[in-house]
Amino acid sequence: MANRAAVFVHRLSGHCLSARRLSIYGSRLTLHARRIHATSAGRSFLSTLLQTAKTKNPITAQWNGQPTHETHPELVAQGETTPGISQSEYDQRRRNIVDSLSDGGTAFLFSAPMHFVSPHVFHEFRQDSDFYYMTGWNEPESVAVLQKSATARRGYTLTMFVRAKEPEKELWEGPRSGLETAVAAFGADEAWPIRDFAKRAAKLIGGAHPVYADLDGEHGLVRSEQCGELRQILQRSNAGARVRRLTTIVQRARLIKSTAELQLMREAGRVSGVAFAAVMRACGPGVSESTLQSTFAHASKMALLAPVTDRSTLTTDHSAPITDRSALTRPAYVPVFAGGEHALCMHYVLNNAPLRAGDLVLADAGAEVAAYAADVTRTFPVSGRFSEQQRDLYSAVLSVQEQMVRLCHADAGYPLNEIHRCSTHALATELRQIGFHAAEHDIERQLYPHHVAHYLGLD
């Protein structure tokens, strides 16, 4: 009753929904409902009054635009905003970022846009990582605005601009979470329809305080329409000099993983390991690289399908329900399944050739679990056995990897670039032992032109 009441009042009050209104108007409308419920006319009026955009359409009545505990308890536990990450952790993330802002600073975070194959065919949506890290919101056409405030209860206010519930569009495009969920489940103090962003953004950047935003595409990323709107507003108000980069602050915070994040990353690693084992079993002469790619994707899903097992007999009870969490995973990136000489191309992603007996296949793939990625590369023989020469080279590279892994802990005191330099020297040493005499600079230019490692998490 209170939720429906709040939605009704939101529709009559300028289309803004706030946490305060959720509480106050819910109580008032409940009181009015009691007064008119006594008559049949009153009951009819009350029924109409409580029919919101969320409850009119039976197709979208019970759903949000992403899993929540109420709709998907098998994926999102009570107290979590997204799978594995609690409401309090998202709040702490925002507090940490706000602590790095100047007093009175305002930060704008933009969702990723939808990408289309053709005018009416879209790619699967993947949220901008910084935006997801700060909000957990997994829809396009969204903006989160953080304002540092000494008088706010949390030390900041969060205003979100999101797609409102529109049954006619949801009939074709699928459900949306809407303004109500942004406030009730995602920690927003206020939520406005995304169509209102341009006319309200100017008020949010008023005064002489710094503005934190990422307005230019980086590494080929396409920014959202709202990013362009903010850029124009800043230009018109001659406030461009006040803009500071936000991603530098957010990514610095993302470097250190919480216990919950580490758990999701370990699960992504476990799922990827299961999938790699399936790929190795499926491998053989004549099998297509494409088949290995499909096997990896399928096995990743199946790794999160847990049948109920009778512990007394260790057999599966096929009549009992299963726990299916496969919706949490998808490929973390476009994978490489490269047979033979194709492995000499760093990012070979065609994955369309048949595998040949006697060749090696390089697989560079990783599963994403609840947006957290794994990234694994393995090389193995197509026919199941290494030749003597292949075994020597494989053992040399494996030895270098094991040596570098031993340096990958805080007590060792090695920065990542230093570990890379150590790996180049170790690789030269290992190759000399099996008859290859290559200078370190030649190794870096030809055999080993990439870095030893990179950061991992939401990307």
Give the CA count within 13 Å in the CB-facing half-sphere of 334.
6
Greater pLDDT, 235 or 151:
151
Mean pLDDT score of the chain, rounded to an integer? 86
Distance CA 147, CA 387 (A): 62
Instruction: Specify the amino acid at residue 369.
Output: V
Greater pLDDT, 311 or 415:
415
Greater pLDDT, 58 or 119:
119
Under the banding of pLDDT at 50, 70 and 90, the label for residue 216 is confident
Tell how strand 190-193 and strand 17-18 pair up: antiparallel
pLDDT at 110: 96
What are the DSSP calls for 123-178, one per residue? PPP---HHHHHHH----SS-EEEEEE-TTSTTSEEEEEEEPPP-HHHHHHH----H
Residue 26 scores a pLDDT above 60: no
Contact 179, 192 (CB under 8 A): yes
Give the residue-averaged pLDDT of 166-185: 90
pLDDT (tens digit per residue) in 268-296 = 999 999 999 999 999 999 999 999 999 99
Q: What angle do CA 173, 65, 154 make, to 5 degrees?
A: 145
What are the DSSP calls for 95-137, one per residue? HHHHHTSPTT-EEEEEPPPP-EEETTEEPPP---HHHHHHH--
Give the residue-averaged pLDDT of 309-338: 76
Contact 64, 177 (CB under 8 A): yes
Under the banding of pLDDT at 50, 70 and 90, the label for residue 235 is confident
pLDDT (tens digit per residue) in 59-106 = 555 679 999 999 999 999 999 999 999 999 999 999 999 999 999 999
273: helix, strand or coil: helix
Instruction: Specify the amino acid at residue 358.
Output: G
pLDDT at 35: 32
Residue 10 CB contacts under 8 Å (≥ 6 apart), including other chains: 16, 17, 21, 25, 179, 180
Write down the pTM of the prediction. 0.85
pLDDT at 145: 97
pLDDT at 82: 98
Q: Which helix (H) or strand (E) holds 44?
A: helix 40-49
pLDDT (tens digit per residue) in 399-427 = 999 999 999 988 999 999 999 999 999 99
pLDDT at 170: 87
Q: Is the dihedral of CA 453, 222, 67, 190 positive or negative?
A: positive
pLDDT at 10: 39
Give the residue-averaged pLDDT of 325-332: 96
Distance CA 444, CA 459 (A): 25
The percent of residues above 70 in pLDDT, for the chain, comes to 82
Distance CA 131, CA 143 (A): 8
Contact 361, 292 (CB under 8 A): yes
pLDDT (tens digit per residue) in 334-353 = 999 999 999 999 999 999 99
pLDDT (tens digit per residue) in 441-452 = 999 999 999 999
Q: Which helix (H) or strand (E) holds 252?
A: helix 247-254
pLDDT (tens digit per residue) in 236-262 = 887 777 899 999 999 999 999 999 999
Distance CA 41, CA 450 (A): 74
